[in-house]
A = this chain, B = another copy of it.
Amino acid sequence: MPSPDITAKKSRTRSDYVFRQIYRTRWFDNDMYAHLNNTVYAMLFDSIVNTYLIDRCGMDPFSMNNNDKDKSAAPVSNQVAIMVNSYCDYFASVSFPDVLELGLRVAKLGSSSVTYEVGVFKEGEEAVKVVGGYTHVFVARETMRPTRAGMEEGTRRELEKLVVKGIGNGAAKL
């Protein structure tokens, strides 16, 4: 019998996610079984999370190695985000040339850390195919350690917008 957590994830809908993006799949994504390889979902999780961090939270991976990016969109952060763990549940498969809709929410917001959840949908279909995500810890760029004050205030404010009240990982729904 699936755990309450899995049952809850399997019932996700697009409206459970605040921030959404559409990604076209690629030929190379399909593996020998003619379905998207599991690692492709993780590549897409990285993409929607980093889009949000760069566009909304002032994360600036580019300044670490070049100077040709326009940083006017948001004040640049002095922290970087380190991935400490990741997880993924696979409910059904998709294939190139499917077009995917991804949704991002914050499942847990700590002092220095955030756990994202991403849902993967296929254009034109209701049922969620894959739900996964990872935990980021925000650390100071110089020390690579979390700071006493936790993540920067601007980052926290933007991540709070991705917390969806009333949906949890299962237990909260019982």
| A contact set with B: CB distance below 8 Å | 21-28, 30-34, 37-39, 42-44, 46-47, 50-51, 54-55, 61-62, 64-66, 69, 80, 82-90, 95-97, 132, 134
Contacts and interface: CB of A to CB of B under 8 A. Distances in A.
14 contacts: A26-B43, A26-B44, A28-B31, A28-B39, A33-B61, A34-B69, A37-B46, A38-B42, A50-B97, A64-B65, A69-B95, A85-B89, A86-B87, A87-B88
B34 A65 contact: yes
Count of chain copies:
4
A90 B84 CA distance: 5
Contacts of A47: 24-28, 96-97
A39 B34 contact: no
A37 B45 CA distance: 12
B24 A24 contact: yes
A71 to B, nearest CB: 13
Contacts of A34: 32, 61-62, 64-66, 69
A88 B144 CA distance: 21
